[in-house]
Structure 1
Amino acid sequence: MKKYNIVIVGGGSTFTPGFLKSFCRMKEEFPINKLVLFDINAERQKTIGEFGKILFEELYPEADFTYTTDIEKTYTESDFVFMQMRVGGYKMRESDEKTPLSMGMIGQETVGAGGMAYGLRSTKEMIKAVYDIRRYAPDAWILNYSNPAAIVAEALRREFPNDKKILNICDQPENVVRSCSRLLSCDYKNLDPVYFGLNHYGWFTHIYDKTNGDDLLSEIKELIKEKGFLPQDAEQRDPSWLDTYGMVQPMMEDFPDYLPNTYNQYYLYPEYKVEHLNPNYTRANEVIDGREKRVFEECKTVIKAGTIKGYVNIHEDAHAEFMIEVAMSIAYNENNRYIVIVENNGAINNLPDDAMVEVAAVLGSNGPRPMRVGNIPLFQKGLLENQLACEKLLIDAYFEESYEKALQAFTLNRLINDAKKARKILDALIEENKGYWPEFKKAE
């Protein structure tokens, strides 16, 4: 069996240790020749990297593990590049969340004004990264799950229209499916979902039992009504994530036809969410005070001990296993089905062909083959068209360096929805994102 060369971009992420553990656990299923961590923050990555060295020495000595800030060393001969950038780090995440909240708008890292701010930062660095990768690894698969994936996917579609080895993907639909398996007390691999939407904005129309073909959505609805909704790994989640999943129950009470993505709550209940978000202590602070400390303390404990034996309590997040399985489906042409982001081209019949939509697709060595979902209902279509126009105008603004297009995008966004508010938040975020965003120019 061929061994693959793997790169993880964002090596200093708190998700990386769990990712490394997953690679070790799955080494028989997906053997690797070498794994390289890359991060522009050498100091932050060093702690994760030294932990990784000990982990691989003890659990995966046959694989070559390194970490670096050198672009050529990182990408040369790579087969799969996993992209998990956080451009601007926690400092800018706090800005994304707190600045909108200070003005009475939702502050969230992937939706609304904060998501747009993050999207512009990610777009600039993702485009640069793809050019770097293609310089040293023309044939590598780029598996991007850097947020906000919808905005990044639209930008990459325009900048690299002929690159068929860029796959934009998000683990949240997968997490919802796994959470349904918790409700049903079944293996998540036995569930076959039908899904449509944009990234962080979609609905499950069916969830089938692979064994007998039964649609389990009605049963799932009843269980959510009775028990509420929890993530599959609820015991490892921060309180804000439990609240996020908990909102699925009221969403289904109001709109019972389909099972929603958890992020739909921001679009459906923006005023409610603003009232219940703390402008002085957001999810960024929760992560800094929680996950950030836990993971780095655990890594430092392992480094000090010089062994993982008896020390590794780091949680393997579902997204790590999911992303490795995605790579396996491509590498071995397994043609397994995953929910991915693709250019529409008729997958959702009544949305534009050039929309970057999120649907189930068969995934093999030639990339994704999307499953058609036909026409979607007017309610969901209207919501998605509004967000689609917002995202396209934002990327217009990026490439054209146009203040007017940026203002149009912010005005259209359902979580802002007012031109005066849009100008105020846009101007504030321009100041806070200097050096990260294009220099937007106003028409003379």
Structure 2
Amino acid sequence: MKLAVVGGGSTYTPELIDGFARLRDTLPISELVLVDPAADRLELVGGLARRIFAKQGHPGVITTTSDLDAGVADADAVLLQLRVGGQAARQRDETWPLECGCIGQETTGAGGLAKALRTVPVVLDIAERVRRTNPNAWIIDFTNPVGIVTRALLQAGHKAVGLCNVAIGFQRKFAAQLDVAPSDVFLNHVGLNHLTWELGVRLGGPEGADVLPKLLAEHGDAIADDLHLPRSVVDRLGVVPSYYLRYFYAHDEVVRELRTKPSRAAEVAAMEKELLTMYGDPALDEKPALLAKRGGAFYSEAAVDLASSLLGAGGSRYQVVNTYNNGTLPFLPDDAVIEVQATVDGNGATPLAVPALDPLYAGLIANVTAYEDLALEAALRGGRDRVFRALLAHPLIGQYAYADELTDKLVAHNREHLAWA
């Protein structure tokens, strides 16, 4: 079995490598190719990756290349984890929206739109080259904004599934609080990528007893602290929102916070510099503890589980993924991409049925889906007016004066990545 990781020079990659090594019985990889245009980073990450495999006794061969076509040739699955423009672009995404009093964040709001505009054309080009080389390969997208990118891939006819680590993070935390194995925890996880709620927490599977009320009663303070929301808000909702919902539920408060502290991009850039120095140490043969602060917790377990199921090697029966709606949420079009529990096998992902949603959640999902429609149109076709329409539709913006100013700033800061600008 051959896998290729596009963006293999990312500092995330050793987390993925560690999971491949530990879970080799679930996903028996014989060849792993790390693909990245940044040859210097690729050399450091590739060296550590080989040492991790060697230490854990994994027999697979790890190679590195900056040649995309050669790297993905004959791959059974291609994982996408790229960042167009690097941390410098992320720094801008998290900065210029704040000048207008709007959230500065890399996956939602104006910054999220900027990332989508930079990313979608690049990902579609990669996917077309994968299809020419190996039309049967699965594409697993971990590249943000996952929902929009996955929708672009699916609409272009690619065999693609989107993946995020939010659900598996909640699963692991809830399992620890309940003192059960993670595999015993089934989440009623519903929404869009980075706009989800845990409506239930069931033991043993989708028909198991819902222990969410118990979790909120016994661990509500810890859950609320993790979300940076007041306990009273979580109790009134009676569900557990993704921490990304704080951008919607406490927008002005978050803007004030972001204006008074270093950006997350600046923190990550400093962390990456330190990590790359560590990766260059020939004595290092395991992922360093610092990597846990980089983000992407449990990404490797989720990626292994998904790839294993898609490639017929096993994997969990139920997994939270990003895929076509196809009637699951009846108030959305079938070709909207949602993030829900699904059965996953060699044919792809099939969402499980979802009970009728409270309008509190359905309304916001519908609003953000409309924004994503317009965002994808802007990414595919370009043009200032399309960018403006997407920003005006976003519930975190929604005023024409803000949308106008943010459009100008977005184009100015991303001109080098926008073919039409």
TM-score w.r.t. structure 2 length? 0.92
**Aligned equivalent of 1:347:** 328
Secondary structure at the counterpart of residue 32 of structure 1: coil
Shift of 1:279: 5.8
| CA deviation map 1:296-318 (0-9, x unaligned) | 232122x2x4x638x95565741
**Aligned equivalent of 1:145:** 142
Q: CA 1:283–1:249 in 2, change beyond 3 Å: closer, same or farther?
A: farther
Give 2:68's aligned amino acid: I
Q: CA 1:313–1:207 in 2, change beyond 3 Å: closer, same or farther?
A: closer
Counterpart selection for 1:319 from 295, 299, 309: 299
Aligned CA-pair RMSD: 2.1
User: Does residue 103 of the first structure (1) align with residue 79 of the second (2)?
Assistant: no
**Aligned equivalent of 1:308:** 285
Shift of 1:400: 2.8
**Aligned equivalent of 2:253:** 272
Q: 1:362, 1:368 within 8 Å by CA — same for their partners in 2? A: yes
**Aligned equivalent of 1:80:** 77
Shift of 1:229: 4.6
**Aligned equivalent of 2:380:** 399
Map residues 15-414 of structure 1 onto 2, 5 A cutoff. 15-60=12-57, 62-160=59-157, 163=158, 165-210=159-204, 213-229=208-224, 245-247=227-229, 249=231, 251-253=233-235, 255-278=236-259, 281-290=262-271, 292-301=272-281, 303=282, 305=283, 308=285, 313=289, 315=291, 317-331=297-311, 332=313, 334=315, 336-414=317-395
Q: CA 1:228–1:175 in 2, change beyond 3 Å: closer, same or farther?
A: closer
Distance, in Å, in 1 between the alignment partners of 2:51 and 2:288 is: 11
Distance, in Å, in 1 between the alignment partners of 2:151 and 2:2 is: 28
Q: CA 1:129–1:193 in 2, change beyond 3 Å: closer, same or farther?
A: same
Shift of 1:435: 2.6
Q: 1:145, 1:168 within 8 Å by CA — same for their partners in 2? A: yes
Distance, in Å, in 2 between the alignment partners of 1:294 and 1:251 is: 38
Q: 1:97, 1:282 within 8 Å by CA — same for their partners in 2? A: yes
Give unmatched runs, 5+ long, in structure 2. Answer: none
Distance, in Å, in 2 between the alignment partners of 1:417 and 1:398 is: 19
Higher alpha-carbon deviation: 324-333 or 415-424: 324-333
Q: CA 1:250–1:99 in 2, change beyond 3 Å: closer, same or farther?
A: farther
Distance, in Å, in 2 between the alignment partners of 1:438 and 1:271 is: 34
| CA deviation map 1:273-306 (0-9, x unaligned) | 101113661111111223x1442232122x2x4x
Q: 2:106, 2:115 within 8 Å by CA — same for their partners in 1? A: yes
Q: 2:41, 2:276 within 8 Å by CA — same for their partners in 1? A: no
Distance, in Å, in 1 between the alignment partners of 2:389 and 2:182 is: 41
Give unmatched runs, 5+ long, in structure 1. Answer: 231-241
Distance, in Å, in 2 between the alignment partners of 1:249 and 1:420 is: 35
Shift of 1:130: 0.2
Q: CA 1:268–1:312 in 2, change beyond 3 Å: closer, same or farther?
A: closer
* Percent of pairs with identical residues: 28
Q: CA 1:61–1:383 in 2, change beyond 3 Å: closer, same or farther?
A: closer
Map residues 425-444 of structure 1 onto 2, 5 A cutoff. 425-439=406-420
**Aligned equivalent of 1:238:** none
Higher alpha-carbon deviation: 187-196 or 51-60: 51-60
Distance, in Å, in 2 between the alignment partners of 1:151 and 1:180 is: 28
Secondary structure at the counterpart of residue 59 of structure 2: coil
Give 2:365's aligned amino acid: L
Distance, in Å, in 1 between the alignment partners of 2:166 and 2:240 is: 13
| CA deviation map 1:29-50 (0-9, x unaligned) | 3221111101111122221112
Q: CA 1:39–1:372 in 2, change beyond 3 Å: closer, same or farther?
A: same
Give 2:302's aligned amino acid: F
Number of aligned positions between the proteins: 415
Q: CA 1:257–1:56 in 2, change beyond 3 Å: closer, same or farther?
A: closer
Shift of 1:356: 1.0
Shift of 1:53: 2.8
Q: CA 1:413–1:250 in 2, change beyond 3 Å: closer, same or farther?
A: farther
Secondary structure at the counterpart of residue 205 of structure 1: strand
